[in-house]
Amino acid sequence: MLKFGFGLIVFTLFFSSAFAQKADSLKADTNLLNRYRIDPRKDAFPMRIRPIQITEEQIPVELLDYKVSYWHKSIVFGLNFSQSAFSNNWSAGGISSVSLGTNFDFKAEYNKTPFDYTSETNLIYGIAANKGQGERKTNDRIFLDNKVATQLSKHWFLFGSLSFESQFSAGYNYVDASGNAVNQGLMISNFMAPGYLTESLGLEYKPTKYFDLRLGTGTAKQTFVLDTTIYHNQPDNYGVKIGHTFVNQLALQVVASIDKDLMPNLHINARYALFVPYEQALAYTTHRLDATLTAKVNRLINVTMNGTFLYDKNTSPKPQGTEGLALGVNYKFP
């Protein structure tokens, strides 16, 4: 029995070895395998690529309702108010007073190359009332300027201008001949006494938007003194002979002006005018400088400093000047 079992095991091992050798020796046809192998490059789904074509299509478009405006306008209005009061027994002394100052500045410009038209209106008036002294004027000016120009080159223009200058109300001098202050003033000026009308023709140089220079080689100025009650109250009667109401002068006029933001909240506006009469000595050359410096506190509140320097022998043999500092409301539109 033992021999039979041992023989069965040997037979089984021999049969298994023979079967294994037969399986390993099986030959495969590699060409046939390669023939049926899947190649992703050849057997992928077919794709057709068509070139992109862009064609122009006519679509009806309605024009926007826009209008081009060649006008540029601005308005500046200022109002300054101050007040002080003291009791009758105030030990430090003082006098009660109220003052009010206003200014109005309107500018308009029409610019369509090569034509340019500019108009400016500047109105200033100030008044103060001191206890026991009554009302006294602190500032007074009417100034109108109109200019038409045509462009000759990038920075040069041929211009013609017409300007008018006077004041609203009567002006008084509260100093006597010795230089002492007096309560009863002497009237020395009034509306159209004096009044100035100036026509000028020449060249204008404008290198930037905030600066321009006028050279008025052909300038005529008429000086009016229509209120004859001020005769003999003012030296030379503003150049108008006694018994006459106006005088005409031919001259060379140079006007330089600047209107610029020095800082985001600091603005300067200045105008210098030089007037050289052809029929008088050079000593009668007139210089006038008007300047306003505005510091913006917020949208409405501003601190304003303005001043005027004038040298005109027909008005006074000595230079003249005025200065003012105010805190008030100043509104500009737009």
What is the tens place of the pLDDT at every residue in 171-214? 999 888 777 878 888 999 999 999 999 999 999 999 998 999 99
Q: What is the mean pLDDT of residues 33-42?
A: 54
Q: What is the mean pLDDT of residues 253-281?
A: 95
Return all residues near 200 (Cβ < 8 A) that are at least 6 apart: 159, 160, 161, 162, 163, 214, 216, 218, 219, 220, 253, 255
Beta 97-112 vs 115-130: how paired, if at all?
Answer: antiparallel
**pLDDT score for 58:** 74
Query: In which band, very low, low, confident or very high, does the pLDDT at 67 lie, cut at 50, 70 and 90?
Result: confident
Return all residues near 190 (Cβ < 8 A) that are at least 6 apart: 167, 169, 170, 171, 227, 230
Query: In which band, very low, low, confident or very high, does the pLDDT at 19 lie, cut at 50, 70 and 90?
Result: very low
Mean of per-residue pLDDT scores for the chain: 85
Q: Which amino acid is at 283?
A: A
* Region 71-333: CATH code: 2.40.230
Q: Which amino acid is at 268?
A: I
Q: What is the mean pLDDT of residues 242-261?
A: 94
Contact indicator for 258, 267 with CB cutoff of 8 Å = no
Q: Residue 38 has which token pair? A: 């899947």
Q: What is the mean pLDDT of residues 142-170?
A: 96
Tell whether the model's pLDDT for residue 45 goes beyond 60.
Answer: no
Query: In which band, very low, low, confident or very high, does the pLDDT at 94 lie, cut at 50, 70 and 90?
Result: confident
Contact indicator for 197, 221 with CB cutoff of 8 Å = yes
Q: What is the mean pLDDT of residues 46-55?
A: 73
| Residue reference for tokens 């005088």 | 247
Q: What is the mean pLDDT of residues 44-58?
A: 71
**Torsions phi, psi of 235, nearest 5?**
-55, 135
DSSP string across 5-49 = HHHHHHHHHHHHHHHHHHHHT----HHHHHHT---HHHHSPP---
Contact indicator for 322, 308 with CB cutoff of 8 Å = yes
Exposure class string for 135-156: b at 16+ Cβ within 10 A, else e: ebbebbbbbbbebbbebeeeee
Residue 215, Ramachandran bin (φ over 0: left; ψ between -120 and 50: alpha; else beta): beta
Contact indicator for 270, 294 with CB cutoff of 8 Å = no
Under DSSP, the state recorded for 240 is P
Whole-structure pTM value: 0.77
pLDDT tens, residue by residue, 285-294: 999 999 999 9
Considering the chain, what percentage of its residues have pLDDT values greater than 90?
Answer: 53
pLDDT tens, residue by residue, 286-320: 999 999 999 999 888 989 898 999 999 988 889 99
Higher-confidence position of 31 and 138:
138
**Torsions phi, psi of 62, nearest 5?**
-85, 135
